[in-house]
Amino acid sequence: MSSEIWVVADIKADGEVRKVTFEVLSEARRKLGGPVCAVLLGSGVSDKASELAGYGAEKIYVVDNPNLKDFNPDGYVKALCGLIGKHSPAVVLSGNTAFAEDYMPRVASGVGSGLAMDCIDIGMTDDGRLRIKRYSHSSRAISTQEFNGDGSAMIATVRPNSFKEEESAGAGEVVSEDAGITDADIRIKVLEIKTKESDRPELTEAERVVSGGRGLASEENFNHIYDLADLLGAAAGATRAAVDAGYCPYDMQVGQTGKAVSPILYVAVAISGSVQHFSGMGSSKVIVSINKDPEAPIFAKSDYGICGDLFQVLPPLTEELKKALSE
Amino acid sequence: MKIVVFITQTQDTEARIKVGSSGDSIDTEGMKWIMNPYDEFAVEEAIKTKEAYGGEVVLIAAGPQRASQALLQGLAMGADSAVHISDEALGETVDSLVLSKLVASELGKIEGVDLIFTGMKIIDEESVQVGIQIAEELGIAHLALVSKVIDVKPDEKKLVCQKEIDGGSVSVEVSLPALITCPDAMNEPRYASVPNIMKAKRKPMKMVSLDDVDFGSLGINRDAVGKSGAKIKTVNLEVPEVERKLKIIKGSDETTVKGDEIAESARELVKLLRDDAKVI
């Protein structure tokens, strides 16, 4: 086993490196010791190596292969298992994106490793075993877990927005690898990719989120949520009840079933605050709620709030926010 | 179509939870155990597929004695038979790798499987990985977070579905057999009625003891099952009370803001966000 700490870069559909990759690189450097290296997998991604070096990567293992386009797990599993088998890193990390949740479990099986997902803290024990914290029980409990140090790579994924990204020049030595991925390795045929055309940040990595509940009462009224989100430069989210009612698409769902978010500011509009919803946003730094029911459970879990009708409160609130933001 | 559903019995996380005396797990005294909510979507999808294309639905679970209750619920929903890998050590936290190997070894004995469904997440451990690792152990493809099955082609042994990805969705085609993980947007699970639960008790349930498992061929030791042999161990569990500021602006009658209070509350909230929280 080498002492290398690997961070697998997560590349977005537009070819850019996802912010969580820089967050994980920075925290690995601050907390884990050992040379921090990056792994860059994809099609036509080689030019991103220098960006990873800018956040402290000493080495960047690159597999640039046309079969790694389209976020298809099979190719990534083969590439990463091959690299881990060849170089035996001590630790393998990545952001906890939907794609990591898709392919990383197979990698752990492939190399016989333990896998801790969606971690909110990472560190090392004195004898060099990875120690992490993660949520459990609908995010109402936090467990501290340690790897047993059996010599297999210790694999973990990290929740976006858990750590601060911090630039720091690493040596950035590029190691090009041929993972030998062929068409035959790819079992899933991609027919069509529908990415959302939106100027708003993605929910899971946004620093601010504005979400609406069933109280919005219609798809049209969700424009209030979008307008407030755009004003704050925030992502737009929703409760399961609002999604089930057809007011907005499933990919906006925040909660146990939907996405877990950890923004600096979470604005909950007409959301009562179920356990399930909390399990997806309870770790937000500041929670603001607007609800006309003075008994709504969300108020007991909010930092700030207005007990009022959203249709009456949002117009003056928007005006006040505009004023404050322009100052 | 031969359809298998991997299900788990979980703690009801809506229940009040507190840390047990060992400090590394939840106190299960009086705990309500339920079928993992996401697995209900998986069972529903399996039954719907059987209704449309014919065939049979087999449930499989690995857990202590009590896990039979979750299997019974699935049988009452309409599954045909069940396999229960039963051992009290499976009631402890079990490595996802060990669990997936155990389940895959029994699943592999079922002949002619076309499709495997399972929930996208096990809610008590918040684990999304076991189902996908079963697919890896079986050497078959998996599709995670399938929001919609678009087309099943039993004759061509192919499946077309829509799955959720970061920032959008993708439609994909895959050859069967394949494993699919189910989110809640997928369907509306049917209710297991009391008469159907009574009838379910007469459906076949195969019990598998760990004594029947050939651990050698799985490449693991029997003592890898359970807490002591786990690759990742929980050393501490806490149920934190997050302190919130609770600065809620209400109307003069302690309910909603009205009239002039509305504009005033908006001004006050923005001031708090700027000066107190410093987030804008």
Long-range contacts of A220-223 (CB under 8 A, 24+ apart): A221/A247, A221/A311, A222/A247, A222/A248
Q: Which two tokens stand for residue B134?
A: 């079963």
For an interface test with A, give the residue of B27, B34, B166 to mutate (most A CBs within 10 A): B166
Where does the pLDDT of residue B157 fall: very low under 50, low under 70, confident under 90, or very high at 90 and above? very high
- Rounded to whole angstroms, the Cα distance separating B160 from B191 reads 27
B279/A265 CB distance under 8 A? yes
3-class state of residue A216 by DSSP: helix
Picking from A57, A72, A83, A85, the residue whose alpha carbon sits closest to that of residue A11 is: A72
B273/A144 CB distance under 8 A? no
Where does the pLDDT of residue B41 fall: very low under 50, low under 70, confident under 90, or very high at 90 and above? very high
- Cβ pair A10, A42 in contact under 8 A: no
pLDDT at A197 over 80: no
- Residue numbers in A near B257 (CB within 8 A): 306-308, 312-313
Sorted by where each begins, the domain ranges of chain B are: 2-224, 244-280
Where does the pLDDT of residue A299 fall: very low under 50, low under 70, confident under 90, or very high at 90 and above? very high
- Rounded to whole angstroms, the Cα distance separating A181 from B80 reads 40
- Cβ pair A211, A248 in contact under 8 A: no
A12/B255 CB distance under 8 A? no
A305 touches chain B (CB under 8 A): yes
The pLDDT tens digits of the residues spanning A27-36 come to: 999 999 889 9
A101/B184 CB distance under 8 A? no
According to the model, what pLDDT value does residue B169 have? 87
According to the model, what pLDDT value does residue B229 have? 82
CATH of span B2-224: 3.40.50.620
According to the model, what pLDDT value does residue B14 have? 73
Mean pLDDT within B28-50: 94
- Rounded to whole angstroms, the Cα distance separating A75 from A45 reads 15
According to the model, what pLDDT value does residue A60 have? 98
- Residue numbers in B near A127 (CB within 8 A): none
pTM for the model stands at 0.92
The pLDDT tens digits of the residues spanning A143-185 come to: 999 999 999 999 999 999 999 999 999 999 999 999 999 999 9
Mean per-residue pLDDT over chain A, rounded: 94
A307/B249 CB distance under 8 A? yes
- Rounded to whole angstroms, the Cα distance separating B120 from B126 reads 10
According to the model, what pLDDT value does residue B136 have? 97
Distance (Å) from the C-alpha of residue A147 to the closest C-alpha of chain B? 4
According to the model, what pLDDT value does residue A46 have? 94
Distance of CA A53 to the CA centre of its chain: 21
The pLDDT tens digits of the residues spanning B231-267 come to: 999 999 999 888 899 999 999 999 999 999 999 999 9
- Rounded to whole angstroms, the Cα distance separating B174 from B153 reads 10
A116/B238 CB distance under 8 A? no
Given phi > 0 = left and psi -120 to 50 = alpha, else beta, which region is B226? Answer: left
Distance (Å) from the C-alpha of residue B249 to the closest C-alpha of chain A? 5
- Rounded to whole angstroms, the Cα distance separating B133 from B223 reads 20
pLDDT at B13 over 80: no
B166 touches chain A (CB under 8 A): yes
- Residue numbers in B near A136 (CB within 8 A): 124-126, 237
According to the model, what pLDDT value does residue A199 have? 84
pLDDT at A71 over 80: no
According to the model, what pLDDT value does residue A100 have? 96
Q: Which two tokens stand for residue B39?
A: 């697995």
According to the model, what pLDDT value does residue A140 have? 86
Backbone φ and ψ for B236, nearest 5 degrees, come out as -160, 140
- Cβ pair A288, A304 in contact under 8 A: yes
Question: Does domain A5-185 correspond to CATH entry 3.30.300.180?
Answer: no
According to the model, what pLDDT value does residue B19 have? 92
3-class state of residue A261 by DSSP: coil
Mean pLDDT within A13-24: 94
Where does the pLDDT of residue A258 fall: very low under 50, low under 70, confident under 90, or very high at 90 and above? confident
Least confident residue range of A73-82, B62-71, B241-250: B241-250
Picking from A228, A240, A250, the residue whose alpha carbon sits closest to that of residue A281 is: A240
Picking from B39, B69, B82, the residue whose alpha carbon sits closest to that of residue B203 is: B82
Question: Does domain A203-326 correspond to CATH entry 3.40.50.1220?
Answer: yes
Sorted by where each begins, the domain ranges of chain A are: 5-185, 203-326
According to the model, what pLDDT value does residue B181 have? 97
Q: What DSSP string runs through A91-152? A: EEEEE--HHHHHHHHHHHHHHT--EEEEEEEEEE-TTS-EEEEEEETTTTEEEEEEE---SS
The pLDDT tens digits of the residues spanning B170-186 come to: 999 999 999 999 998 78
B210 touches chain A (CB under 8 A): no
pLDDT at A66 over 90: yes
According to the model, what pLDDT value does residue A138 have? 81
pLDDT at B165 over 90: no
The pLDDT tens digits of the residues spanning B73-118 come to: 999 999 999 999 999 999 888 889 999 999 999 999 999 999 999 9
For an interface test with B, give the residue of A14, A203, A257, A301 to mutate (most B CBs within 10 A): A257
Where does the pLDDT of residue A309 fall: very low under 50, low under 70, confident under 90, or very high at 90 and above? very high
A134/B145 CB distance under 8 A? no
B contact residues 99-118, partner A, Cβ 8 Å cutoff: 100
Q: How many residues does chain B have?
A: 280
According to the model, what pLDDT value does residue B167 have? 76
Domain A5-185 identical in fold to domain A203-326: yes
Counting one residue from chain A and one from chain B, the pairs whose CB atoms sit within 8 A come to 278
A144/B272 CB distance under 8 A? no
B194 touches chain A (CB under 8 A): no
According to the model, what pLDDT value does residue B185 have? 75
3-class state of residue A321 by DSSP: helix
